[in-house]
Amino acid sequence: MNLTIDSLDRSRFKGERDTLALFLWEGEKFTAEGWLDSKKEDSLEAAAKREGFKAKAGETFLSYPEKEEPVMRLLLIGLGKKKDAKIETLRDGAGKAYKASSKQSETLWIDLPQWPEKISAEALAQAVTEGVLLGRYRYVKHKTDDEQKKKEFTLKKTVLVVERPEEIDAAKRGIKRGDIYAQAINFIRDLINEPPSLKRPREFAKISKGLESSRIKVRIYSKQELERMGMRSILGVNAGSVHDPIFTHFIYKPKGAPKKRIGLVGKGITFDSGGLNIKTGNHMSNMKMDMAGAATIMACLRACDALDVASEIHGFAPFTENMPGENAYKPGDVIQAYNGKTIEILNTDAEGRVVLADALSFAVKQNLDAIIDVATLTGAVVVALGDQISGLLSNNERLARDLLEASKRAGEKVWQLPLLPEYKERIKGKVGDWANISTRGGAEPGSIIGGLFLEEFVDSKPWAHFDIAGTAWTDSETPTCVPGGTGAIARTLLEYILAL
């Protein structure tokens, strides 16, 4: 779909086959921004009120003005009260505008609203662009019905109307960045939604190689190389699968001297059966999404190239299945990680932290300024924070603060959990150095326990861990996301990287 910019010149507005979307603030006088005369504005406002439209956040009202008007199909979208203005409300509103016009219009015109705070036209245009492109997303690769496979229906173009000509250049920059962000998120969604038997490690090797460019280099380590390197944690989790693991190292280098050198590590369990501690059916049904962390860092690397990021970014992704095959690792096994520490396996379904032990240990040796890992790590984070908030744990308060600020700019909900050292006694192994779950049993602070385990493999480097077990997947539909993979935390990571 094309996304273009227009200024106050409305001569190209077709009317008959187009939809115009206007954003309104709750409790304020309705204005059609010059698209209708004052009498028609009053008539439209009265009609909207009769239908109960108050411009609350997320509310919509569709109107068909009189035939002589240039606007044939007018969509009003509420932003809520100005004092509660949130950029994500605008993003969701743009998603709703797309869905309300995709089957009825050739062009969707969106009038960029005036924001009460000092938010640039670039940021507003970016949010609208993301909303439209994320709202448009459908995973239809395996549908056989031609009608269901159509992604755009009749809608071919979206035009962003900028009322102030001096803001057009800024809006163009916002459209470009919004397009890159949306492409990254939809790339993650495609990988998560793909059936697990079509995305085994060897498929991810091909996808990884496809990310190579003049500034992104990709090194893929085979099973034989992992054996020589001593990456026994990845190999241990992989032992129950007939499909060999891989470990991928991505390196993005900027044109000039890098401002910072940052490592992104992603959990890449392409399917998680739970191993010998096998999951029940209802907990296994969406475990094709257990590689969401790896998909996220891959998408971010690709976006860094498109955004011309000024820092050097490394990505690390261990890919393997966790299966209960005849050679599967077992409760009671002890595995030595890449950094030499031993892991006592108490539960084979806590495999994500085991493969990350090798990946983090490898990242430490790359002389990075900070390391951030992203993983669908614990069911406990869903209990603690639900499916709308990602958990954050860190050994460095400045890094944690920067990531929290980035999440606010991105409009993603993140909550920092304490990395409480008093709990570390609970993961001291009896026959190995560290147990992969708490040795106490019963109800435990599982997300914190998982973070404390990972901390043992970062060698005091500034490090942060995002637990996206609750946010990487959704069973419900929102204006910008259908059920399935979400692409959570990608925007936050990109905002953090761009601010370095």
Give the catalytic positions in this structure.
279, 353
Among 195, 192, 189, 244, which residue's Cα sits nearest to residue 222?
244
- C-alpha span between 253 and 248 (Å, rounded): 16
394 Cβ contact list (under 8 Å, min separation 6): 400, 403, 416, 419, 462, 463, 464, 465
- At residue 459, what are phi and psi to the nearest 5 degrees? 55, 40
Residue recorded with tokens 């490090």: 463
Burial (CB count <10 Å: 0-12, 13-18, 19+), residue 66: exposed
- C-alpha span between 45 and 37 (Å, rounded): 12
- C-alpha span between 30 and 27 (Å, rounded): 9
Q: Which of helix, strand or coil describes residue 74?
A: strand
Written as six digits, the tokens of 492 are 């936050």
Q: Which of helix, strand or coil describes residue 334?
A: strand
3-state helix, strand, coil in the chain (%, to 5): 35, 20, 45
